[in-house]
Structure 1
Amino acid sequence: MSGHSKWNNIQHRKGAQDKKRANLFTKLGKELTIAAKEGGGDASFNPRLRLAVEKAKAGNMPKDILERAIKKGTGELEGVDYQEIRYEGYGPSGTAFIVDVVTDNKNRSASDVRSTFSKKGGNLGSDGAVAWMFNKKGEIIISSDQVKDSEEFMMEVLEAGAEDIIEEDGEYQVITDPTDFRSVLDSLTEAGYKYEEAEVTMLPENKVNVTDLAIAKKVLALYETLDDLDDVQEVYSNFDIPEEILNQID
């Protein structure tokens, strides 16, 4: 398993910016609604909803909005009939992109995603075009300043059921099988660790190293424009931009 890629660091930074974006609550609300529809409104018995609630609280979503979103999913309140759709495509320099959408209008979403790929130097592909390059994994990011003894921490993580743990750039990336994600996260939380990020995600098997500044700017422009689309929940990619190039873009 490769280390924590730079595009993931970009995603974390963008996550901090998201708190200032007007559509943050919309994205959080959609996840709450979908999770409740899929597994019921009791977070104690619905791991996906439990994580969605934690993220909503971390994003300072008001309690009444949070509860309404859940009730829309359970059918207690009238809500929108959302669909989850996955798009796949290629960006500049052969980078691969997976775009997860939650929408009430499939045609609108497809048009927006296709247009963004086209305008930003990419190509929308067919189902399965790039998914084979990624693995679905649980990922938990913990800052290294919480860890006093790295060897002891690594043993603790592996005993909790994690598949792998990687230390890089001042943080630990804990990787799990998706089915073990919640139990590992609970074990670490109970042990007193606070996570920076925790989600079931798509991790690339191999990364595309982008060292040309002009291409890096194009790749990031595609990533950020896709992520800003109203219907888009998550964007995954396999690009790896060195820190010295990123610093020139920031």
Structure 2
Amino acid sequence: MALVVGTLLRALRTLRLSAPAGASGRLSVPQPVLSPLWRRTCPFRTVHVSSAVCAGHNKWSKVKHIKGPTDAARAKLFLRFRLLIKVAVREGGPNPAFNVNLAQILEQCKRKSMPKASIDEAINSVGKTKPLLQHNYCVQGPGGCLLLVEVMTDCTSHTTHEIKRVVFKNGGNMTDKNRNVFEQKFVVVVPGQDVTSERALELAIEAGAEDVQNTEDEEEKPQLKFFCAEADLHKVRGSLEGLGMQIEFAGSEYFPRSCVSLDDDQMEAAAVLIEALNNNPDVLQVWDNIQADS
């Protein structure tokens, strides 16, 4: 029987608090296997007693001629870091010692081996360019799938024109009526290598997270995502660091409330559209509601 992770975490907290202080035996708790992001049954994140899915699983693996929307992931990641650095510097200044958001972004840049010259250029360019604004566009793609396109730009009219051009050229349509399909959540992401499902649950309990989930990064390396309220983000991050975990990201992401399945042709068309959107330098991220086992 599938259990919602948040409920399980609360139950485990209760069990820990109620365990006798002098108990000699270990507390016996279920040891479920966490379901990775793209293997869950939408819209719920559940814990399944089943074999763990290999880290290399990718929902784009059936697309024969396109590796997926992550082909240029490294270059795209650096571009995103440049934009985020500029926003952080504008909001809190160029000194990471007094700018927590900037310090966090710089940590991520170093872990991903972003060249120091590129980091310094992004910091020093602030004030020489126009202010950046963030926008989201909702797109309907092949097979009725929905995409949420997150952009950061200094020229909204130009970016909107380019997004529309790419969408129409690749068989999609702009829409606003289904924007609520995506829900913004706050997460702290850490490497998932060599972390068992039991240990992941323990970390979530000790850090005060509401939920935990297995997933993969853009290079298909295993990760753990710890979910929490926005107000608890800094506390959960600090707790995980105190528990010896390396923080890869802490902030907000978008997750679909419901998913759709696509056939092979629709899957390939969706990959082409997402890849084309990601090639736009103003696009930070493209979120989708495509079922993993399409």
Q: Normalising TM by the smaller chain, what interval?
A: 0.7 to 0.9
Q: Provide the residue aligned with 2:288 in structure 1.
A: 237
Equivalence map 1:137-152=2 (5 Å): 137-147=185-195, 150-152=197-199
Does the alignment pair 1:27 with 2:84? Answer: no
Task: Specify the code of the residue in structure 2 equivalent to 1:165.
Answer: V
Give the 3 Å change call, closer, same or farther, for CA 43–9 of structure 1 in structure 2: farther
Which secondary structure does the structure 1 equivalent of 2:213 belong to? Answer: strand
Deviations along 1:157-215, one digit per CA (max 9) or x if unpaired, are 133121211346865332222332333233223322235665421111222222x1001
> C-alpha distance in 2, partners of 1:137/1:44?
27
Contact 1:216 1:241 in 2 (8 A): no
Task: Specify the code of the residue in structure 1 equivalent to 2:275.
Answer: E
- How far has the Cα of 1:14 moved from its partner? 5.5
- How far has the Cα of 1:18 moved from its partner? 2.0
Q: Provide the residue aligned with 2:92 in structure 1.
A: 39
Which secondary structure does the structure 1 equivalent of 2:204 belong to? Answer: helix
Q: Provide the residue aligned with 2:139 in structure 1.
A: 89
- How far has the Cα of 1:232 moved from its partner? 0.7
Equivalence map 1:152-167=2 (5 Å): 152-167=199-214
CA RMSD of aligned residues (A): 3.1
Q: Provide the residue aligned with 1:51 in structure 2.
A: 104
> C-alpha distance in 2, partners of 1:241/1:33?
34
Which secondary structure does the structure 1 equivalent of 2:258 belong to? Answer: coil
- When Rg is computed on C-alpha atoms for both structures, the one with the higher figure is 2
Which secondary structure does the structure 2 equivalent of 1:208 belong to? Answer: coil
Task: Specify the code of the residue in structure 1 equivalent to 2:91.
Answer: E
> What's the TM-score once normalised by structure 2's chain length?
0.67
Q: Provide the residue aligned with 2:113 in structure 1.
A: 60
Contact 1:181 1:200 in 2 (8 A): no
Higher relative contact order (CA 8 A, sep 6+): 2
> What's the TM-score once normalised by structure 1's chain length?
0.78
Contact 2:200 2:212 in 1 (8 A): no
Give the 3 Å change call, closer, same or farther, for CA 152–56 of structure 1 in structure 2: closer
User: Which sections of structure 2, spanning at least 5 residues, go unmatched?
Assistant: 6-34, 40-56, 61-67, 217-221
Contact 2:69 2:271 in 1 (8 A): no
Which secondary structure does the structure 2 equivalent of 1:203 belong to? Answer: strand
> C-alpha distance in 2, partners of 1:113/1:193?
38
Q: What percent of counterpart residues are identical? A: 25
Equivalence map 1:1-250=2 (5 Å): 4-6=36-38, 17-19=72-74, 21=75, 24-73=77-126, 75=127, 78-126=128-176, 129-147=177-195, 150-167=197-214, 171-194=223-246, 198-210=250-262, 212-242=263-293
> C-alpha distance in 1, partners of 2:260/2:160?
26
What is the number of equivalent residue pairs in this alignment? 233
Task: Specify the code of the residue in structure 2 equivalent to 1:164.
Answer: D
